[in-house]
């Protein structure tokens, strides 16, 4: 019965992840600042990248399982396309000539496999988040500042 509805176990995992994904999309597209519209690009980027870092931490095993069936499916998904477009638009506020490479670079630490590798090496979640914030600081000016 599960396979009829979801196709396979990875499909089931994606369905479980989907509810939180929809909530997150609503928050960054229509919610209050700094995650939602109205905040400067640097603050929105910090809020935007911090939220998936928290979700990755909370759902790492499910994300790893979902991505194991098709390792590159994440980058072809509608959610990643939205993330990439959103971060690229925020980067373009600072650098109108920028292409999507900075957006991919800012999103790269949120790949479940890389995130899990860092955590299994003993890196604390707060350090991963601090590194993201430092990267945002460097990308948007004002220097890098961690946690």
In a domain, 104, yes or no: yes
Higher pLDDT, 69 or 29: 29
Most confident of 28-32, 74-78, 100-104: 28-32
Candidate from 78-82, 83-87, 98-102, 143-147 with smallest mean pLDDT: 143-147
Q: Is 145 inside a domain boundary? A: no
63 in a domain, yes or no?
yes
* Angle between helix 125-140 and 41-69 (nearest 10): 130
Please report whether residue 43 resides in a domain. Answer: yes
Say what the pLDDT of residue 147 is: 44
- Burial (CB < 10 A; 0-12, 13-18, 19+), residue 127, is middle
pTM of the model: 0.82
Q: Given this model, what pLDDT does residue 143 score? A: 55
Whole-number pLDDT of residue 145 = 55
Q: Which pLDDT does position 120 carry in this prediction?
A: 93
Proportion of the chain above pLDDT 90, given as a percent: 41
40 phi, psi to nearest 5 deg: -60, 155
Give the orientation angle of helix 112-120 with respect to helix 41-69, to 10 degrees: 90
- 6-51 pLDDT tens trace: 677 777 777 788 888 899 999 999 999 999 999 999 999 999 998 8
37 lies in some domain: yes
147 lies in some domain: no
**Number of domains forming the structure of the chain:** 1
Q: Would the pLDDT of 70 be above 90?
A: no
| Separation between Cα atoms, residue 134 and residue 145, nearest integer Å | 4
Q: Where are the beta strands (DSSP E) in the chain?
A: none
Domain span at residue 47 reads 2-140
Q: Is residue 76 part of a domain?
A: yes
For residue 146, being part of any structural domain is answered with no
Residues whose CB falls within 8 Å of the CB of residue 59, separated by 6 or more in sequence, listed in order: 17, 20
Instruction: Determine the average pLDDT of the residues in 113-117.
Output: 92
């Amino acid at each position: 019965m599960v396979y009829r509805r979801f196709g396979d176990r990875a499909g089931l995992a994606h369905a479980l992840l989907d509810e939180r994904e929809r909530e997150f999309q609503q928050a960054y597209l229509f919610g209050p600042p700094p995650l939602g519209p109205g905040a400067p690009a640097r603050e929105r980027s910090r809020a935007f990248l911090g939220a998936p870092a928290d979700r990755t931490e909370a759902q790492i095993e499910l994300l790893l399982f979902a991505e194991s069936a098709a390792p590159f499916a994440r980058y072809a998904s509608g959610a990643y396309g939205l993330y990439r477009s959103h971060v690229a638009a925020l980067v373009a506020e600072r650098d109108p000539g920028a292409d999507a490479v900075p957006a991919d670079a800012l999103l790269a630490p949120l790949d479940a496999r890389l995130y899990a590798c860092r955590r299994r090496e003993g890196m604390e979640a707060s350090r991963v988040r601090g590194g993201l914030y430092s990267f945002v600081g460097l990308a948007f000016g004002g220097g890098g500042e961690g946690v």
